[in-house]
Each structure stands twice: as structure tokens, then as C-alpha cells.
Chains A and B, each alone.
Chain A
Amino acid sequence: MNAAVIVFPGSNCDRDLAVAIEAVTGVKPTMVWHRDTELPANVGLIAIPGGFSYGDYLRSGAMAARSPIMRAVTAAAAKGTPVLGICNGFQVLTEAGLLPGALMRNAGLHFVCKPVGLKVETSQSIFTSAYASGEDITVPVAHHDGNYQADPETLDRLEGEGRVAFRYTGEVNGSARSIAGILNDTGNVLGMMPHPERALEPAHGGTDGRRLFEGLLDAVTA
């Protein structure tokens, strides 16, 4: 599977994400600079990494969401290409309108950096097929703006359509209904605040993130 990792000025998880993707797929992803306007041909996964794109100026993810490459990402997403946004990548996807809602300052105002418990809310997605629905996993978070908010109708729709992918099992950042990750209406775009690429090897302190990439590889190459 050919993957592209989008790199913005201020991205800082791009290399970790590339290492994780290569470890699971065996193929080195293409690093795509934000000013590029085209993605590599036959890209099977677009990954938007964590970090502080544009120094979080204006709002987290706001500037990155308007950068040239995002037109190509939006077009690819509309055609069904899987798009995975982690942490700042999730913020970029909401700012770009590829996912509903917004990620606001953590309710406790503190930057939160620790492993957190997550419940996999659905295994019925290309991103979560290697997990069991209802399974508890542990994946690290590291964010200041992870407080997911949307209007009640949107939240009800997300829940009703099985589009909440992950939920925090404890209080982390004030997110509405403890939402940690959501899918778009066609299921090919996932945004999540926790960092699965930081839970890949035993040396990371946990390997619960690995199955996200393994399941995705199976789903995309099946």
C-alpha cells in the first residue's frame, strides 16, 4: 500500500507516523509537503500527522486546512481514499470541513500528555476492523486542543450512524460525550486525538495502536 504523509511547517509527528506505516505495510510512505498540489499516483492512504502546524496560529489546524495540498486531499477523500488524521491531523480535518465539529482548548486548560484508556466504539470501519467493538485499549495522547465539540444534533447523528470510532474511558479534555475519534459519513476519513503511532512497539510502553495500521492495511489491500 502506498501511503502519503502530509508535512506542514510545524508538524512533529510526521516521521513517527511514517515509521509506523512502514513498519506495518513494508512500504516507505511518500512525504508530501503542504505546498505541493498533487498526491502521488495510486495513493492508498493519506495520513495527516500530529504537531503544531503553523504554530497553531489563529486556531489549531486552521492555516494547514487552507494550504494547497488540502485541495488534493479533499478531492481524494471524496473519491473514497482513506484519510487518517491524528491529533493536529484531526484538527486539520475538522477545519477543512472533512469531519464535523471542532477541537477546542482542553477543559482543564492544561496540555495533556499521557497514556489514556479508549473504548473502540465500532469495529465496522476500515480503521478499526482489527479491534473488537467495545474493546478497551490504551493509547497515548499529547494535546492542548483536544476538547471535541459539536452541536447536539451532530453528536446524535455521529452516534446514531456508528461514526464515533473511539471514546475516552476517563476524563481527559472535556470532549463532548468523551469522543476521542470520529469517522466521516462515508467511513473513509478518521480523525482521532490519541496517537496510535506512539503505541506500536513494546518499547513504546504499549502496542495497542498497531492494529489500527494492520487493520487498515488489510482493509485497503483486501
Chain B
Amino acid sequence: MLSSPVWRGTPTLAFCAGLVCGGALTATVLVVAGSLLRAPLPDAGRWAVVAAALVAVLLRESGVWSFRLPENRRLVPDTVFRLGRHLGPLQFGIEMGTGVRTYLPSGLPYVAAVAVAFTAPVPAALCAGAGFGIGRALMTTANLRYGADSAWDGEWRAHGRELRFLTGAAFVVPLAALAVTASSGTP
């Protein structure tokens, strides 16, 4: 789908804006639902839930533990483009940015969802959602600019192990810092 001529110029911006909006939408739902879930738990209990989810997903990502995570196993249909040159990519971006309308081949977004639901205040949750959309926009932008056909996807497959390590570290390190600052009582 990324090779379509629609992925040039301003429609790409509409798509990226949709990704960020979709991520923020999911984060808003998570923080609202999470405000009920986290209410009976102390701070340490909330972070214990996040740590448990993180350990389970890291074991899964490293191949030690095999289990399926809930996932909408389908592609966003081409029919979204019936809305026009900009609204079509915008809707496609929103659907992909929510993280619940198409494949989600990494476990890290599930940990992020648990962390947002159990620990994030509203401004942080919105930043988390926007960050998820930016991460997905980085993928599509790089894919388009890297070269023709599926060269970028080939590089991803060729370096899958290193990429899992780098993205995992980029996820875990700030999450651990947030847990430390939360436990020490500073913002």
C-alpha cells in the first residue's frame, strides 16, 4: 500500500497527522478506563502491574515464552481512500495510529498501554499517544524515503534482532526512569 501514488506530498502529512491523532485517541480511552483500574491500587502496586506486563512481553520478544496477544489481524482496507486525497490518508492514519485496527507485531505497545492506563497523568498520556503515532510515522516516512519497492522491509527483516534490542532499550530505559522518579516522589 505504501507504494501507492497517494503517498506523496500533503497526503503524507495528513496520514502522519492521523497517526498522531489515533495514538492520542487510544491514550485518552486508556487513561479514562485506567483511572478506574488504578484507583484501588497504591503507586507501588500500579508499577508492579506495569513491571509484570513488561517482563512477560520481554520474555515473549526474546522467544523464551510463547503466547498470543490480542490483535486485529487484518490490514486497514483500501476503501478508506474513497474519502479523497487528504481525508482518506487521514482516516487511514487514525485507524493505524489507534493500534487496534490492524496488525501489531511487537509486544511493546501492550506494555505502553498498561503503563498509560495504570500510571500516566492526562498530559503524559497524550504525549504517549502522540509518541506512538510519531513512531509509526517514522516507519512509513523512512520506508518511503529509503528506496523503491520493499527494500526497507527487507532491511528490517535482515536486522530484526538488533532492531528488537534497540527499540526495546529505547522503551525500557525511560520507563524505568519514570518508575524511579515516581517512587521517589518527584514529578
A binds B: no
